[in-house]
Chains A and B, each alone.
Chain A
Amino acid sequence: NAGVMQNPRHLVRRRGQEARLRCSPMKGHSHVYWYRQLPEEGLKFMVYLQKENIIDESGMPKERFSAEFPKEGPSILRIQQVVRGDSAAYFCASSPMGLAYEQYFGPGTRLTVT
């Protein structure tokens, strides 16, 4: 029974490039959350998705960031034209029914922008 998978685990991008982060939820989970953790800070909610739908994107920066969770395949967090300030750990969590008490975190993707 595999847990939440994220890949890549580490990603290095130069300023101006695109970063694509993938999250495969646990089997049977149709709800995905993305969080960002800047160095020495707590996790900040970014976006909540169900299959093919964005439910809440109130934590997403207005520009350069987008997320999707297609009918088939992993959820993708996409950052265009990365800047140094995007360097952070990005965690996703999945949930079977979208309830806070049953969110299971993935191992995270550590993005470094050089």
Chain B
Amino acid sequence: GENVEQHPSTLSVQEGDSAVIKCTYSDSASNYFPWYKQELGKRPQLIIDIRSNVGEKKDQRIAVTLNKTAKHFSLHITETQPEDSAVYFCAASLNEKLTFGTGTRLTIIP
């Protein structure tokens, strides 16, 4: 099955700076890579995703890059704001089944 590793587990960033979270996956057949934001006690919310036929996708302050050769993908948040503080999860889909990373607790320091 698929295995997803996520780093770092915690990340503190000054407000206005950028944050980068990285994930690697094990199965080259995985073809869909979503990112979720989860606030305390809430459900995971999809914030951005990328398919395996695309190298980069951007949505306002959030971008995701995918390197299929290296089997890794990254989340980039620019101009961070206090409301970006949350736990972020990456995931990889193999045969339509999502395997999640272990999460990154992002704290934005005002």
Residues of A within 8 A of B (CB): 33, 35, 41-45, 48, 56, 58, 91, 98-101, 103, 105-108, 110
| Residues of chain B with a CB closer than 8 A to A106's CB | 43
Q: Which residue of A lies closest to B49 (CB)?
A: A101
Interface of B: prevailing SS: strand
Chain A residues lying within 8 Å of B58, measured Cβ to Cβ, are none
Known A101-B49, A106-B43, A107-B42: A44·B100 in contact at CB below 8 Å: yes
Interface presence of B83 (CB below 8 A) = no
Roughly how many angstroms separate A56 CA and B98 CA in the complex, as a whole number?
12
**Are A43 and B1 closer than 8 Å at their CB atoms?**
no
- B34: A residues at CB distance < 8 A: 100-101
Of the candidates B1, B6, B96, which one forms a contact with A99 in the assembled complex, judged by CB atoms under 8 Å apart? B96
A91 CA / B36 CA spacing, docked (Å): 14
- Counting chain A CB atoms within 10 Å of each CB, which of B6, B93, B98, B102 scores highest? B98
Chain B interface size, under 10 / 10 to 19 / 20 to 34 / 35 or more:
20 to 34
Interface residues in B27-82 by Cβ distance below 8 A to A read 32, 34, 41-45, 49, 51
Top 4 A-B pairs ranked by shortest CB distance?
A100-B93, A42-B100, A105-B43, A43-B100
The smallest beta-carbon distance between A87 and chain B, in angstroms, is 15
Q: Given that A99-B96, A100-B97 are contacting pairs, would A42 and B42 also be in contact in the complex, using a CB cutoff of 8 Å? A: no
B44–A45 touching, CB < 8 Å: no
Q: Assess the A42–B101 pair: CB atoms within 8 A.
A: yes
New A-B pairs, 16, CB < 8 Å, besides A44-B100, A101-B34: A33-B98, A35-B100, A41-B102, A42-B6, A42-B102, A43-B44, A45-B97, A56-B97, A98-B96, A99-B96, A100-B32, A100-B34, A101-B32, A106-B43, A107-B43, A108-B43
